[in-house]
Structure 1
Amino acid sequence: MKAGLILESPFPYPESNLEPLDILETTAENEYDEITRLASKLFGTPISIISLIDGRRLWFKSKVGIRVTELPLEYSLCKTTMKTKSRVFVVCDASKDENLASHPLVSGPPYLKFYAGAALIDKEKNKLGTICVIDNQAREVNYEDVKCLQILSKKVVELIERRKKEKLLKEELRKVENFAKTMERFALSTAHDLRSPLQNMISISQFLVNNGVKLEPEKQMEFLSHIYLNSKNLLEYINDLLDANTGISGGIKNESKALSILKLEHQLHNLYGAFQKVQIKVKADIEIMHLRVLPFTQIINNLVSNSIKHSCKKNELSVINLSIKSFTDKYELHIEDNGIGFKNTHKLNSTTDYEINSGSKKLGLRIVNFWLSELNANIEFYNHRNGSGVLLVVPRIVP
């Protein structure tokens, strides 16, 4: 072949970003090194390189006959292979090539003359880099030589493609592991949230068994009504869980998107107002909330339950005030009680801080954390004049 011969092949491929492959700056790998050694052996050249393009440099994944690990793109002969509309670029004697004779690596040390490079092209037809053989002696090549270089380039691309598949597989495995952890938290949350209405029904039923004959019919009906409403709430929650579609990401989908403030108030009263000394007041500037109902109601139930169990003073009426303000893209909810407050007066901005400063490790806030992530909501704990409070910021869904 003559000096400067380019084997034409349409090549409208863009240069690719190698960062997602996590291959740059990796250590030497025998499979790549075997290919560069084979290339030098086949062509009889002292230098062979597998280079990958990274911005304005060529980084050498594998090399024979040189010490440097990279070159600026403007000083590399491989840039011609990357820019040309060819899969293979061959220069038999660069000192006689009008385009390359003045190149610093040709006109000066190491006085390179022979260069043959094949582009590395992935399945998406991106140029990843080159495999090349270099000599400071002029050489002639034939089409069989070029064919061998193309075969070697395909072998390099196969290694890179395999790396890409392995990376994708690791990402999928990580998703599966995260999903398993999410399901574990979800199961814990479900068991926790089913317990409160069941405990209420058991308590009321036990009270009726022991004292029912002593009660007036109206009082008996009141307690039976609480059992009925708790059973109904429990059934609605179970139906929501059954209707929810849990994908691989762990996201809970397809649940209700609208919640009546009046219904929320009734649910809280039925859950916590039957036997306990609890007064729950709800104030809102809207009648309907548009949000993901399932995670939202579980957060509210857990926060109110925790406030009653762990924050309120003994032998006193527990007063829980829930205020709701509506904004264009969110809802802000304040849940305030007349309890003992937190040990530290500074604002707390996470459930972890809440556990530490409240002095209790059993506040069920792991459950709250799970539902917060599902709802993409934010939470903040604070003290106020008469007790403790929680600020919950929840995304609003456009109906």
Structure 2
Amino acid sequence: MTYDPTGHLLLTPIDQEAPARVRRLRELGLGEQPDPAFDEFAHRLAEVTGAPYSMVNFIDENRQFFAGLHTPAGTHSGTDLGATAAAAGGGGVGRFMARDHGYCPHVVVRRKALVLEDVCDYPRFAGNPVVDEIGIRSYMGAPLIDRTGTALGTICVVDTDVRPWGRAGLETIKAMAAELVEQIHRREDGMI
């Protein structure tokens, strides 16, 4: 867990469910490699929401892995979001990100969708490293809770501009998360 030394805010939530999540992800064969179906889902998510970046994100104890990724440039390389973004002048996105970066770990622990139209409006979230290192200004994500009750990860969209996602955005991200969970269940059942 990470604290903001000046404000003593807990920036990364304690995740008691992480060991069970890792076991479940291994059972499902998820979270270790890119998946073309998840890339396609992320692309569709970006189209539906109008966001430049979208991800299908699985989270373990130490990192986040974007098994599905859509970026404006269509690049899906690199190993660390921050390092890749810095090397690309702020625009590159990779498949891995530290657990203390971004907002998806909050979504997984809360087990609820999160909409941040302007992350700077929320002191708890404005201090996150993705704001200064990558320039993220808005975020919308929803948890992927499977049939066992495990929060496997999230789907999310981010933008470097403030976005008025509104109630419609919230309903869209929740509906698309449910759709992806059903896809994961069909895979598990051998139907895909």
Deviation >4 Å, runs of 4+: none
Aligned partner of 1:58 in structure 2 is 64
Output aligned runs, 1:118-129, within 5 Å: 118-129=142-153
For 1:171-200, what per-residue CA distance to the aligned partner results, in whole angstroms no more than 9, with x for missing partners? xxxxxxxxxxxxxxxxxxxxxxxxxxxxxx
Return 5+ residue gaps in structure 1 as ranges: 1-12, 168-399
Output aligned runs, 1:374-389, within 5 Å: none
For residues 95 and 57 of structure 2, the distance between their equivalents in structure 1, rounded to whole angstroms, comes to 9
For residues 45 and 125 of structure 2, the distance between their equivalents in structure 1, rounded to whole angstroms, comes to 23
Q: 1:19 aligns with which of 15, 20, 26?
A: 26
For 1:204-263, what per-residue CA distance to the aligned partner results, in whole angstroms no more than 9, with x for missing partners? xxxxxxxxxxxxxxxxxxxxxxxxxxxxxxxxxxxxxxxxxxxxxxxxxxxxxxxxxxxx
> Does the 8 Å CA contact 1:14/1:125 hold for their aligned counterparts?
no
Q: 1:46 aligns with which of 52, 65, 78?
A: 52
For residues 113 and 58 of structure 2, the distance between their equivalents in structure 1, rounded to whole angstroms, comes to 16
Q: CA deviation at 1:82?
A: 1.3
Return 5+ residue gaps in structure 2 as ranges: 1-15, 72-91
TM-score (norm 1): 0.36
> Does the 8 Å CA contact 1:35/1:152 hold for their aligned counterparts?
no
> Does the 8 Å CA contact 2:102/2:128 hold for their aligned counterparts?
no
TM-score (norm 2): 0.72
Output aligned runs, 1:1-399, within 5 Å: 14-15=17-18, 16=21, 17=23, 18-29=25-36, 31-65=37-71, 66-84=92-110, 86-106=111-131, 108-166=132-190
Distance 1:27 1:93, change over 3 A: closer
For residues 48 and 165 of structure 1, the distance between their equivalents in structure 2, rounded to whole angstroms, comes to 26
Question: Secondary structure, in 3 states, of the residue corresponding to 1:99?
Answer: helix
Highest RCO, 1 vs 2 (Cα 8 Å, sep ≥ 6): 2
Q: CA deviation at 1:14?
A: 4.1
For residues 117 and 79 of structure 1, the distance between their equivalents in structure 2, rounded to whole angstroms, comes to 10
Question: Secondary structure, in 3 states, of the residue corresponding to 1:109?
Answer: helix
Question: Secondary structure, in 3 states, of the residue corresponding to 1:154?
Answer: helix
Question: Secondary structure, in 3 states, of the residue corresponding to 1:118?
Answer: strand
For residues 121 and 79 of structure 1, the distance between their equivalents in structure 2, rounded to whole angstroms, comes to 13
Percent of aligned positions that are identical: 24
> Does the 8 Å CA contact 1:114/1:135 hold for their aligned counterparts?
yes
What is the Cα-based RMSD across aligned positions, in Å?
2.0
Q: Kindly indicate which of the two structures has a greater share of residues assigned to strand.
A: 1
